[in-house]
Every structure is written in C-alpha cells, then in structure tokens.
Structure 1
Amino acid sequence: MFIEHLPPESHTMTALRNGMSQAELDAQADKGEPEKGRWSQEEQLLAAAVDAIRRLEWVLLCVNTEKKSKRPDPPEPMRRPGAGPRKKKAQLTKRSANTLFELLQGGAA
C-alpha cells in the first residue's frame, strides 16, 4: 500500500492519526512503532534538544548546590510517540538483599 510509505508528517498520515481513537493510539504506542506516532522527525530532534538543555540545566543546578544540600532529581526526558513510559528502577529491599546475599554465599546449591 502506498499510504504506509508516506512520511509520518504528511497530511494523509496526520489525518489518519487524527481519526484514530485514543485506544488505537495507545495500542500503537504499546507496539513501539514510533514511525506511526504523532511527531515528525523534526519534532523528535527538537525534543532531543529540549532534553539536552534540561539535562544541562540540571547539571548546572547540581554543581551550584552546596554539598550537604539535597540535589534535585534529574529531569525526565520528554515522552516520544510510540514509546511507553519509562520503567522505574528496581529498589533493593532488605528481603531481596538477603536473598541475593544467600545466593552469593552458595545458598542456591
């Protein structure tokens, strides 16, 4: 089909996306097909530039924060179409730390 090969920022692809329900857009995002997202390549590059500026601002704040003060959390990158939300890093609990320690000490044998 010719339509599938149109650039994502074309009028036809934009009209097709605008006609989709939120559930259909979410399903595409879950499949990880950014080429079917709502942004053009230029918008993706602009988002990358915004992320870089936010990161630089964060570094500047960290450098100028007193050592004993709490540093600000790093900025979250802008969500891109077709990409799911970032997963939180797993936290090591006492129970999982003990299990890991036992495994390292040969407890699995």
Structure 2
Amino acid sequence: MDLLDWHRGTLTTRRLAVLVRHLPPESAFARAHEGERAEWTLTDHLLAAAVDHLAIGNWMFASVNRDEYADPLDPPEAVPRPGAGGAPTPGGTPARDSSTVRGPSGAELAQFFGA
C-alpha cells in the first residue's frame, strides 16, 4: 500500500481511515499513538484486574481474621498498568484511599473497548 495513492486520488480518505483504524495493536503506528498501552492486550488488563481483586479479597480475609490487637495490615498494591504515569487504568483496581476510588467514565470505556 502506497500512501501517495491518497494524494494521487486513487486511495479514498475513507479507505485510508479504515486501514489506519484496523492496524494491528503491535504496529508502529499503535505504539506511537498509544505508547505503553499498546503493549497490553485486553487479556493482560483482565488478568491484572483479576490479580488485584484476588489480592484485595485475601487482604480483607486476613484483616477480618486477625487478632483484634494486632497492627492493621497494609492494603495490597495494584498491579502497575502502562500509561498515565503508572496510575492504574480503569477496571476497579484497588486504591489506598477510598476517596480516590471511582469507576471508569463512558469515554474511558469506549476508548478501552475501541468503540
């Protein structure tokens, strides 16, 4: 595919947009556009969320079943996600402060699922 075909008029803008939109996630364009996030697939994000939820469940179980005079346990750290300066991505990851817990917005969900 020659991109000069777009300038020559033999490749339509719509066809070019479709080709770019459906590039594979491991393409150079996706890495340049998405950065580190392009390296993580949906499966990677789901596995990280499962690990985070399992860690929270174990922490809650251990916290409830500890001696009442023992020091409180530290909550688990979230699996680091790519992008946003190391902050966890949407998906219900654990946070230390309950005031920082929020669900993903509609725009974040649409971007994540490629809609």
Distance 2:65 2:81 in 1: 31
- Please state how far the C-alpha of 1:4 moved relative to its aligned partner: 4.7
Deviations 1:13-32 (A, max 9, x none): 32538x87xxxx8xx46xxx
The CA RMSD over aligned residues, in Å, is 3.3
3-state DSSP of counterpart to 2:39: coil
Q: Aligned partners of 2:65 and 2:40: how far apart in 1?
A: 35
Matched, 1:16 2:28: yes
> Which of structures 1 and 2 has the larger relative contact order (alpha carbons within 8 angstroms, sep 6+)?
1
Whether the 8 Å contact between 1:58 and 1:75 is mirrored in structure 2 is yes
Question: What are the superposed Cα offsets for residues 19-74 of structure 1, whole Å, 9 maximum, x if unpaired?
Answer: 87xxxx8xx46xxxxxx431101111111111000000100110111111112210
The structure-2 alpha-carbon separation of the partners of 1:47 and 1:41, relative to structure 1 and needing over 3 Å to count, comes to same
SS of 2:76's equivalent in the other structure is coil
1:49 — aligned with what?
Answer: 50
Percent identity (aligned): 31
TM-score scaled by length of structure 2: 0.48
2:59 alignment partner, SS class: helix
Q: How does 1:25-40 map to 2 (within 5 A)?
A: 28=35, 36-40=37-41
Q: 1:4 & 1:73 partners in 2: Cα distance?
A: 43
